[in-house]
Structure 1
Amino acid sequence: MLRVGVVGVGNMGYHHARVYSELARDGKVELVGVADANFERAKEVAKKFNTIPYANYKELARERLDAVTIAVPTSFHKDVAVEFIEAGTSVLVEKPIADTIENAKAIITAAEEVGVTLMVGHIERFNPAVLKLKEKIDEGLLGKIVTISAKRVGPMAARIRDVGIIIDLGVHDIDVISYLFGEPVRTVYARAGNVVHPAGVEDHALITLGFDDGSGIVETNWLTPHKTRTLTVVGTAGIAYVDYIDQTLKIYNHEWIREAKIEKREPLRNEIEHFIECVEHKKEPITDGKAGLHALKVAIKALESAKNGRVVEVE
Structure 2
Amino acid sequence: MTTLRAGLIGLGMMGRHHARVLGSLEGVELVAVADPGGDVHGVAGGRPVLGTIEELLDQRLDYCMVAAPTGLHEEIGLQLAEAGVHCMVEKPLAHDTASAERLAAAYTEKGLVGAVGHIERYNPALQQARARIEAGDLGDIYQVATRRQGPFPGRIADVGVVKDLGTHDIDLTAWVTQQEYVSMSARTTTRSGRPHEDMVSAVGLLSKGTITSHLVNWLSPLKERTTVITGEKGAFVADTLHADLTFFANGNVETTWDDVSRFRGVSEGDVVRYAFPKPEPLRVEHEAFRDAVLGKESDIVTMEQGLATVRVAEAMIESARTGQVITL
Q: What corresponds to 2:87 in structure 1? A: 91
Contact 1:173 1:218 (C-alpha < 8 Å) held by counterparts: yes
How is 1:58-207 mapped onto 2 (pairs within 5 angstroms)? 58-196=54-192, 198-207=193-202
Cα 1:285/1:132, change in 2 over 3 Å = closer
Deviation sequence 1:52-79 (CA, Å, 0-9, x none): 1001122102222011100111111001
Amino acid at match of 1:36: D
Amino acid at match of 1:256: D
Alpha-carbon separation, structure 2, partners of 1:285 and 1:81:
21
Alpha-carbon separation, structure 1, partners of 2:39 and 2:272:
50
Amino acid at match of 1:201: H
Matched, 1:3 2:5: yes
Alpha-carbon separation, structure 1, partners of 2:99 and 2:230:
36
TM-score (norm 2): 0.91
Q: What corresponds to 1:30 in structure 2? A: 29
**Unaligned 5+ residue runs, structure 2?**
252-268
Shift of 1:310: 1.2
Aligned residues: 307
Alpha-carbon separation, structure 1, partners of 2:202 and 2:297:
33
How is 1:239-258 mapped onto 2 (pairs within 5 angstroms)? 239-253=235-249, 254=251, 255-258=269-272
Q: Secondary structure at the match of 1:120?
A: strand
Shift of 1:308: 0.6
Deviation sequence 1:143-189 (CA, Å, 0-9, x none): 11100000001000121111000000100001111112211100000
Matched, 1:56 2:52: yes
Q: What corresponds to 1:225 in structure 2? A: 221
Alpha-carbon separation, structure 1, partners of 2:181 and 2:113:
25
TM-score (norm 1): 0.94
Q: What corresponds to 1:291 in structure 2? A: 305
Alpha-carbon separation, structure 2, partners of 1:122 and 1:40:
24
Matched, 1:300 2:314: yes
Shift of 1:282: 5.5
Q: What corresponds to 1:237 in structure 2? A: 233
Alpha-carbon separation, structure 2, partners of 1:21 and 1:286:
20
Alpha-carbon separation, structure 1, partners of 2:300 and 2:18:
18
RMSD over aligned Cα atoms: 1.3
Q: Secondary structure at the match of 1:162?
A: coil
Alpha-carbon separation, structure 2, partners of 1:8 and 1:135:
33
More helix by share: 1
Alpha-carbon separation, structure 2, partners of 1:229 and 1:155:
13
Alpha-carbon separation, structure 2, partners of 1:283 and 1:251:
30
**Structure having the higher Rg:** 2
Taking only the aligned residue pairs, the percentage that are identical comes to 35
